[in-house]
């Protein structure tokens, strides 16, 4: 059993090193020497905003500075109870490209953000629609960069991780759970060609899609009850035969996702549980993954224990060697991945803690779901 456990750790370490190296080469290849697209088609920037008075002005102002000037910026006030609407109206008075849309009351069977995105889609006039969260700030070529990659790779939709801003190391370690995808799960290099729905990934902070593709999908109606709106849209594209892409966006925009650890926990546990497919087979697969992740999170300590035992018992030498090598490969890779995506060196060193947090958030979210309590986000309960 000990040899088996240490072999699993070694295998995952080798897989992680291979996967990240492959992903990194793919990312570097598709983003190298990108050029502004010649096309100046109208791009609609669609921002769902619910109680975002502290972020919305900085977000919109960053978008008004884009090198791609043929824009309309639609901000949907999703029944906010703060000054979100008034701040957008002030920006609208300064630049005719900005327009405030007052959101309708949430309809039955719709998730809040998806209903907001549907209304933005219905109001959009652009050939392309860039959905972006209100807590983002974009560099001047954010739109041009996305259009260039989409055109170069022949895609229908593109998304990617922005540079994440965190006020504390704890929040940064929590947010770095997103590294699970490029460091352990998704072979992005092959996914670009294979388009497997299971490996389709997106993040709502930057989601650029062709308008005619969204028309063909039926807008957001087919996924209106999904918890994780961005991944659900990416998977829908892949299922319907539309090429969805994922690329590094840390040079295009930044985002302060959470201002507190508790806020981040609630949001991420909702997202993690929303991504996971339900059903008996899905549950059994996730159970195995949870057990493996628990093993990985404690693998450095396990390696030390095997090392101590190996001093007096040679039978533990091979498990010690496997565990030591596997842990080193995994968490050295995790650190490399963290730094590539703009996280600090300190956050990159907390890979074991981050992996443990993934497990704990999934388990707590599962209990909330099974108990019927659901997830609370921005004053709404998501069951």
Tens of pLDDT along 270-308?
A: 887 776 665 666 667 788 888 999 999 999 999 999 999
Q: Looking at the whole model, is its pTM more than 0.85?
A: yes
Ranges of each domain in the chain: 2-22+275-382, 32-261
SS3 labels along 138-173: ECCCHHHHHHHHHHHHCCCEEECCCEECCCCHHHHH
Q: Give the pLDDT score at 49.
A: 96
Quick check: 383 pLDDT over 70? no
CATH of region 32-261? 3.90.550.10
User: Which of helix, strand or coil describes residue 242?
Assistant: coil
d(CA 315, CA 319): 8
3-state secondary structure of 372: coil
Q: Kindly give the residue spans of alpha helices, DSSP state H, lying in 65-139.
A: 84-94, 112-123
pLDDT digits (tens, 9 = 90+) for 51-81: 999 999 999 999 999 999 999 999 999 999 9
């Amino acid at each position: 059993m000990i040899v088996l456990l240490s072999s699993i750790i070694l295998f995952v370490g080798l897989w992680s090193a291979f996967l990240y190296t492959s992903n990194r080469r793919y990312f570097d290849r598709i983003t190298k020497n990108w050029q502004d697209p010649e096309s100046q088609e109208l791009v609609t920037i669609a921002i769902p905003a619910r109680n975002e008075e502290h972020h919305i002005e900085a977000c919109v102002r960053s978008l008004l500075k884009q090198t791609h000037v043929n824009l309309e910026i639609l901000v949907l006030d999703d029944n906010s109870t703060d000054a979100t609407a008034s701040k957008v109206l002030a920006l609208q008075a300064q630049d005719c490209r900005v327009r405030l849309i007052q959101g309708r009351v949430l309809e039955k069977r719709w998730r809040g953000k998806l209903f907001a995105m549907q209304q933005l889609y219905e109001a959009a006039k652009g050939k392309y629609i860039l959905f972006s969260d209100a807590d983002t700030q974009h560099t001047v070529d954010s739109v041009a960069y996305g259009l260039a990659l989409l055109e170069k790779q022949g895609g229908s939709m593109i998304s990617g991780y922005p540079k994440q801003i965190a006020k504390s190391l704890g929040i940064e370690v929590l947010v770095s759970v997103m590294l699970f995808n490029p460091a352990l799960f998704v072979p992005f290099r092959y996914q670009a060609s294979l388009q497997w729905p299971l490996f389709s990934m997106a993040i709502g902070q930057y989601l650029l899609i062709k308008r005619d593709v969204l028309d063909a999908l039926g807008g957001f109606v087919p996924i209106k009850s999904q918890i994780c709106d961005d991944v659900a849209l990416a998977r829908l594209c892949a299922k319907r035969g539309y090429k969805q892409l994922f690329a590094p966006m840390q040079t295009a925009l930044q985002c302060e996702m959470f201002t507190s650890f508790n806020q981040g926990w609630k949001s991420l546990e909702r997202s993690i549980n929303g991504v996971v497919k339900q059903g008996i087979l899905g549950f059994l697969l996730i159970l195995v993954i949870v057990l493996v992740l628990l093993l990985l999170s404690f693998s450095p300590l396990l390696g030390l224990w095997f090392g101590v035992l190996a001093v007096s018992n040679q039978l533990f030498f091979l498990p010690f060697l496997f565990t030591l090598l596997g842990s080193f490969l995994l968490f050295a890779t995790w650190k490399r991945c963290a730094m590539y995506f703009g996280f600090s060196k300190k956050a990159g060193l907390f890979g074991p803690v981050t992996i443990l947090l993934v497990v704990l958030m999934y388990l707590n979210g599962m209990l909330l779901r099974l108990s019927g309590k659901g997830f609370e986000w921005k004053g709404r309960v998501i069951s």
